[in-house]
Amino acid sequence: MNDSEKAKECLGRIVDLFKAGNIPKALAVATIPSQPGIPSAKWSISNRVLQFIADTSDAREFRQWQKAGRKVSKGSKAFCILGPNTKAINETDDNGKEVKKVIVIGFHAIPVFRAEDTDGEPLPYEPATPPPLVDVAEQFGLSVSYQTFASKYYGYYQGGSKRIVLASHEPKVFFHELAHAAHERIEGKLKGGQVPSQEIIAELTAATLAQMYCPEANLGFSYDYVKSYAEKSKKTIERACLAVINTVGLVLDEILNKQLVKEDVA
């Protein structure tokens, strides 16, 4: 495929997004100011939409990764963003004076790689130390990665692709997603979207783990979160919690037993 064919393919992807009605979400995400200091923070909106389609928040050219002390993993596929082809022309201005002007005459494709497909020096938006219980996620067969944003959430769990993506360094955010994963191991596939009972189970589990592993954490957010979901299911916060408390116990067991198994071995 030559350069202009590649560029056309990139444009085609943006058009497909429009057709599928997904452009508002892509644009909303693309316009969130991302981490300063990463190259894509300076990209055009259309290139950031392409980055969003590629399911990453940090894509860079091969040599830019090298400069950042990271290696692109073997077999990783690049995706393309668009760079302008410019040409300097001479134009006559209103006063009859000749001036030089740079115009865009087309686009070329620039191959870039996703942060998720690289290894090496820590990324600026990764925490210095991983959250407690990160090894339980590993034992569940899940990858844990950080992005500069994760859609409109602080994090999410994707059972199908076996991963947890976090846009917060707060351990409780990780615990919440880990709880969804443990819940799914017990009950089988969870329903998509924000189902009140599932959210209350995840957040109560996360709040409990936060008490155990980082007692200094502020749990005010948990209360408001659970309350909002209790209201959605037309229950008082007490009733909503009581209805799921047994499941929360099972989810905690699923997570903490994995931790114990590991400590026994160590």
Q: How far is the CB of 156 from Zn ion (least distance, A)?
A: 7
Q: Report the residue number, 117 or 199, with the smaller CB distance to Zn ion.
A: 199
Q: Which two tokens stand for residue 193?
A: 């979207």
Q: Report the residue number, 21 or 160, with the smaller CB distance to Zn ion.
A: 160
- Rg of the chain, C-alpha, whole Å: 23
Q: Which two tokens stand for residue 192?
A: 């998509």
Q: How far is the CB of 264 from Zn ion (least distance, A)?
A: 30
Angle among Cα 256, 257, 258 to the nearest 5 degrees reads 90
Q: Which two tokens stand for residue 59?
A: 């894509």
Q: How far is the CB of 15 from Zn ion (least distance, A)?
A: 33
Q: Report the residue number, 150 or 202, with the smaller CB distance to Zn ion.
A: 202
Residue that the structure tokens 């006559």 belong to? 92
Q: How far is the CB of 219 from Zn ion (least distance, A)?
A: 16
Is there a contact between 150 and 166 (Cβ–Cβ < 8 Å)? yes
Which residue of the chain is nearest Zn ion when measured via CB?
Answer: 202
Q: Report the residue number, 115 or 204, with the smaller CB distance to Zn ion.
A: 204
Listed residue (3, 224, 213, 218) closest to 129, CA to CA: 213
Q: How far is the CB of 176 from Zn ion (least distance, A)?
A: 6
Angle among Cα 154, 166, 39 to the nearest 5 degrees reads 100
Q: Report the residue number, 30 or 202, with the smaller CB distance to Zn ion.
A: 202
Residues within the interface to Zn ion (CB under 5 A): 199, 202
